[in-house]
Chains A and B, each alone.
Chain A
Amino acid sequence: MVFSSQIFLFYFLPLVLCLYYALPFRARTAMIALSSYVFYGWANPIWAVIMFFGSSVDYFCGLALVRFAGLPDQDGLPPIIGPEIPRTRKMRIVLAVSIVTNMGLLAVFKYTGFAAENVNALGRALGMGHDLVPVLHLVLPVGISFYTFKAMSYAIDVYRGEARPMRRFTDYMCFEAFFPDLVAGPIIRYAALEQQMRERQHTWDKFARGVAFFAFGMGKKILLANPMGHIADTAFAGGALHVGDAWFGIFGYAFQIYFDFSGYSDMAVGLALMMGFVLIQNFDSPYKADNITDFWRRWHISLSTWLRDYLYIPLGGNRKGPVRTYVNLMAVMLLGGLWHGASWNFIIWGLIHGGMLAFERAQGKNSPYRRLPHPVRVGITFIVVCLSWVFFRAKTLGQALVYFKSMLGLATVTSAADSVAGAMYTPYHGAMFVLCGITVWGLPNTWAFTNKLSVGRSVGGMALLALAILMMWTQTVNPFLYFQF
């Protein structure tokens, strides 16, 4: 189900809110779990079964960890496994079971086809005339990358003693399947939600803030991301393009992916707030970043902090010398790229960002770049990010290279390219493009903007929501970009 759809907005959400506030507190968690499964299974009921399998394994792993720690309950709650408790072999096996289950699900659905294709390509390169392994093509369950990462954080946080496990099965189901963040994040780590599962406040201002988040998120998606998607989709459906058209297309994509994803995150945060949950901030005006390191502090924060805490630091972080730090950065970003999708384009995208992070770290604080005026640095950073988006958006490596050639004016362009431009440029899309620029560089992010809900901001937010709903009906269902990852 898509947030910006009639079925969600006018049927699912009102029903869920009614039930939620009509039920006693303990039953609410079970109701959220059940409705989350309906939400998820709506696109394909089989996917809900797959998620249920993974969740069940994680739930029992959490209980097993506590059992093997041999600790009694604390104040009627499952205990936190403190640092004084030695981690036994059995506990490590349980943790491994959880991680292997989640990574296994991800590997089966996301990476086996890619791996098989590359094995076969290698075989052909070595002169073998036939495929070495069969290429299975499994339909990727929506949001599997998000919920498996979320689930892994559960077992790891419990194992590390950063949170207490859940006793009630429905509580765990609610955490893992929580519909606001289920399919496209933010990737909520278990430790951040554990206490909220047991107790949370419901207030008018929390609900109103949730509505404001939802309104701005919906506005971003419908009014900005989708028109920019038209520009980007048209440009990337084309072959070789004129220089200006290619840049217009990639800028359009940069705006699309930002407003699409941050819009989704805002809506997720807003929906969670309506039910008393506080999620984390996932975007902090990323295109205002003045270097790539800064960009990753602001872009998809829940993923970058997940990778930091569960991958970069366990790999040694920056504690093993500069070379190892650079290798770790590259490795983490490469895996971050692969997390987005099983293709060489995502690997290259990750390597570009990993390379830039390593390069900036090597430059230190006194690099000449830092002496450039701030707007110039912001501009350069945006261009670098846009160049990397080419790999992210292009469907094949060949298409990415043709697109690069177009951006540099090196492509062989025929008059057919003009037809692409004809579909791209309209007064409406031009106006929305300018509005995107103003929003990105001239306005605060949603968290800061909704922190104070004055009369003007509230009226503006509600008008935006109403307009977005009206516009939603003119657009065919346009799933969020991150659903595919």
Chain B
Amino acid sequence: MNRATAAAAAPAPTAKPVKTSGHGGPTDPSHDEHLRRGIIHTDVSRGMAIAITSFFLLLIFAVPVSQAVMEKARGEETMLLDIFHRAPTRDNLKQFEDDLDKASYAKDAVQPRMQALLTRLGRVGNKKAVVGHGGWLYYKPGITYLGGPGFLDPNILAVRIKASLDAGEPAGHPDPRPAIFAFADALGKRGIKLILFPVPDKAMLQPLQLHGRGDAGRPLPVPHNPDWAPFVAEVRGRGIAVFDPGPPTLLPGEPPRFLVQDTHWTPEWMDAVARQLAHFVIETAALPALTTMIGQTSPATRQAVAMPIERVGDIVDMLKLPEAETIFAPQRITVQQVQEANGTPWESNPKADVLLLGDSFTNVFSLDSMGWGEAAGFGQHLSLALGRDLDVMAQNDSGAFATRQALARELAGEDRLAGKKVVIWEFASRELAVGDWKPIDWDAALAAAAGAH
């Protein structure tokens, strides 16, 4: 076959010879010789070529050299030698690269300032944070849940499994239903009622500050993921109670339900939700009269004490801005700390007949390290509204499995479900679309609990 002829008659790439300027362009036959011999023509003066080369070398050497100088000056050991102390496995190499990134003085100096500039001038967030209007910040996975496709769509579930496998991770369990049903069944065997409480996302209840679309003077429907309604119907169809505190519409002039720069709710709305949930619990589960319970303290003597708190929200932390940055002013709120009659903060009671499994929504005003006060959280206010003690197990993040897993582990040593009538399972609704709903061997856990009992 005559290749030159064949090439000229070939499809798209050869139908018309590509016009080139002799600088080693596309693989047109006329350039093969130049290409084979590694010739490239550049119109540049020798001085400029040396200047460009020098600048480049200076740039790429400056960072490691300055890093070494800084480490020497501060008496730190260089990170670089770590590479020789670890086996060259995928995880070790990834860890080394991450550590190198974290230890970088250049990155430390540049990243917060550049982020501040971009956020101030262009409303730029990052992988986790979305910058809305008027200083409002949003957590991106919440938006992914709300605006994304139905979280029960079999194709979407398959895509999520494949994404985990492609990343070299275990397949994961994207479908929330098996985990929820199994948990409800396990609790049912112990005569315990499960109440599911997916907390609505900030983007659902503060939508105008996110997208700026729509008329702020008119009622707005609360948006939902397309599979929310079918999910709730299916779960309720299995006899599991679902508590949804979201209003049907958002009315003009309503106070915000979420903190401006934080993923979590305001203390006021949290308190209102706690009271709604208390009614729901009483309606849903026939709880015994308080006087018949053993080990209960006297809830009637508890009081809520107002405490002002001021800080920027957790989404500002995610943006990693300079510490002195003033783009986002701290938000001042008042939390209501729940105290016993003697002034000591409220404490969870493992013997209570209601167990609350929660995530950071439960913790936000009760876990001191979250910066919004302590003993003023959802558990405390739910306890106050129920007028009885409450057992609380809460862990930030991974609401899809963290507390279930913790409960199952605890059952091996102590029967945390003993005497329980109701388990309230609170988690962020975004978990329905992004969470890993790991299965738990409840038969084994309950058997272990029986043994412990």
Q: Which residues of A contact B (CB under 8 A)?
A: 5-7, 9-11, 13-14, 17, 41-46, 137, 139-140, 189, 191-192, 194-196, 199-201, 203-209, 211-212, 214-215, 234, 237-239, 273, 276-278, 280-281, 284, 292-297, 301-302, 304-305, 308-309, 312-313, 317-319, 328-329, 332, 357, 361, 395-396, 398-399, 402, 414-423, 425-429, 431, 447-448, 450-453, 455, 458, 461-462, 465-466, 469-471, 473-476
Contact = CB atoms under 8 A, between A and B. Distances in A.
A222 B313 CA distance: 29
Contacts of B155: 396, 398-399
B11 A318 contact: yes
Interface string B30-44: 001011111111111
B46 to A, nearest CB: 6
A-side interface mostly: helix
A469 B104 CA distance: 14
A189 B35 CA distance: 11
Interface in B46-78: 46, 48-53, 55-57, 59-61, 63-64
Contacts of B56: 211, 214-215, 462, 465
A204 to B, nearest CB: 4
Given A13-B60, A426-B131, A45 B24 contact: no
B35 A192 contact: yes
A268 to B, nearest CB: 14
Contacts of A11: 64, 80, 100
A447 B25 contact: yes
A46 to B, nearest CB: 8
A427 B52 contact: no
Given A281-B25, A474-B114, A204 B12 contact: no
A473 B132 contact: no
Contacts of A292: 12
Contacts of B88: 41, 45
B123 A423 contact: no
Contacts of A9: 60, 63
B36 A195 contact: yes
A419 B141 CA distance: 12
A186 to B, nearest CB: 9
Contact of A313 (B7, B38, B46, B122): B7
A318 B168 CA distance: 44
Nearest to A139: B168
Contact of B9 (A43, A45, A208, A319): A319
B169 to A, nearest CB: 10
Contacts of A293: 11-12, 15
B307 interface: no
B101 interface: yes
B90 A278 contact: no
A474 to B, nearest CB: 5
Contact of B223 (A10, A13, A297, A418): A418
A379 B390 CA distance: 65
Contact of B1 (A211, A313, A469): A313
A239 B148 contact: yes
A419 B140 CA distance: 10
Interface in B381-400: none
B36 A305 contact: no
Interface hub of A205, A238, A297, A304 (most chain B Cβ within 10 A) = A205
A317 B100 contact: no
Contacts of B195: none
Contact of B18 (A204, A239, A284, A469): A284
Interface size class of B (residues with CB under 8 A): 35 or more
B40 A423 contact: no
Contact of A304 (B13, B16, B110, B203): B13
Contacts of B211: 418-419, 421-422, 425
Given A43-B90, A415-B223, A448-B21, A332 B11 contact: yes
Nearest to B225: A416
28 contacts: A6-B107, A13-B60, A211-B53, A211-B56, A238-B149, A239-B149, A239-B226, A293-B12, A317-B6, A318-B9, A332-B11, A398-B155, A416-B225, A417-B147, A419-B223, A420-B143, A422-B211, A426-B125, A428-B118, A428-B123, A452-B42, A453-B44, A453-B49, A458-B44, A469-B59, A474-B111, A474-B118, A476-B127
Contacts of A461: 52
Interface stretch (B213-221, B262-270, B278-286, B350-358): B213-221
Contacts of B97: 5, 7, 42
B322 to A, nearest CB: 12
B40 to A, nearest CB: 5
Given A418-B211, A418-B213, A296 B13 contact: yes
B26 A419 contact: no
B53 A204 contact: yes
Given A308-B7, A418-B213, 14 more contacts: A6-B104, A14-B57, A192-B27, A196-B38, A199-B38, A204-B53, A208-B53, A293-B15, A427-B121, A427-B123, A458-B48, A474-B110, A474-B111, A474-B126
A17 B53 CA distance: 12
A191 B33 CA distance: 10
Given A192-B36, A284-B26, A204 B46 contact: yes
Contacts of A211: 52-53, 55-56
Given A309-B7, A451-B21, A419 B203 contact: yes
Interface in B115-169: 115, 118, 121-127, 130-132, 138, 140, 143-144, 146-150, 153, 155-156, 158-159, 162, 165-168
Given A281-B24, A304-B12, A318-B11, A423 B130 contact: yes
B-side interface mostly: helix
B140 A423 contact: yes
B402 interface: no
B10 A474 contact: no
A196 B126 contact: no
Contact of B59 (A296, A313, A418, A466): A466
B23 interface: yes
B224 interface: yes
Nearest to A316: B6
Contacts of A398: 153, 155
A214 B127 CA distance: 26
B27 A396 contact: no
Instruction: Identify the 9 closest CB pairs spanning chains A and B, nearest first.
Output: A428-B122, A422-B211, A296-B12, A208-B49, A420-B147, A422-B210, A416-B223, A453-B44, A204-B49
Given A211-B53, A426-B124, A452 B114 contact: no
A142 to B, nearest CB: 11
Given A6-B100, A45-B89, A455 B48 contact: yes
B230 interface: no
B212 interface: yes
Interface hub of A10, A428, A453 (most chain B Cβ within 10 A) = A10
Nearest to B60: A14
A206 B131 CA distance: 44
A308 B220 CA distance: 57
A235 to B, nearest CB: 10
A7 B60 CA distance: 11
A44 B90 contact: yes
Contacts of A294: 12, 16
Contacts of A447: 23-25
Interface hub of B18, B25, B165 (most chain A Cβ within 10 A) = B25
B287 interface: no
A166 to B, nearest CB: 15
Contacts of B3: 313
